[in-house]
Structure 1
Amino acid sequence: MGIRFPNEARSFDDKNRCVRFSGYDGMFEVKFYLATDVLACGKAHRHASESDYLTTFDASRRRILKVATNAYLSAQSNSISLSLRDFG
């Protein structure tokens, strides 16, 4: 069926320093974890706030979802971590 992202919800995970979001392959949820270093553009990484990361995520959503789709096609896993390496 392929991965889809019908839900625009995302959340910041301070403990793991990532933004979490979900996609769906049919009825199966796939959890994505986007490392904050991917979103560190503009501000000094260590000074960026939760709001900064979520705002940058929203502004970059199309590219992030494209990379997430490609990562899912390669991994076929229900949990995928995305890092700068995936955006190269």
Structure 2
Amino acid sequence: MTLAFPNPSRSFDETRNAVRFMGHDGMFQIRFFVEVGVLTKSHVAKREAGALEAKCLSAFDELRTSIYDVAREAYSHDRRDSYTLTRRGFLLGGSLC
């Protein structure tokens, strides 16, 4: 099977400072986290605690296709049950930034 994203839900994980979303490979659920640094370009945005969640979720929605592409690429190299997507992964894949 291949990695799919049938559920568009995402949430902000304050502890990890990332947006969390789920992928599925058949019956297996795969957790993904996108670091705030991927979703915000400004260091000021990172310091605005109250607005950070809304900004990150909005950015995730705008970049969803590219985020899913990078998630699929990461999963294709090493099949695990959890991934943290960093800015480096997006720069290498050429999908964002």
What TM-score does the superposition give when structure 1 sets the normalisation length?
A: 0.93
Give the match for residue 17 of structure 1: 17
User: Any stretches of 5+ residues in structure 1 without a counterpart?
Assistant: none
User: Any stretches of 5+ residues in structure 2 without a counterpart?
Assistant: 92-97
Following superposition, the deviation at residue 82 of structure 1 comes to 0.5
Give the match for residue 47 of structure 2: 46
Alpha-carbon distance in 2 for matches of 1:75, 1:21: 18
Give the match for residue 33 of structure 2: 33
Alpha-carbon distance in 2 for matches of 1:25, 1:80: 14
Aligned length: 88
Whichever structure has more helix as a proportion of its residues is 2
Give the partner amino acid of 2:83: I
Q: CA RMSD in A?
A: 1.3
Give the partner amino acid of 2:12: F
What TM-score does the superposition give when structure 2 sets the normalisation length?
A: 0.85
Q: Which ranges of 4 or more aligned residues in structure 1 deviate by more than 3 Å?
A: none
Identity across aligned pairs (percent)?
Answer: 40
Give the match for residue 6 of structure 1: 6
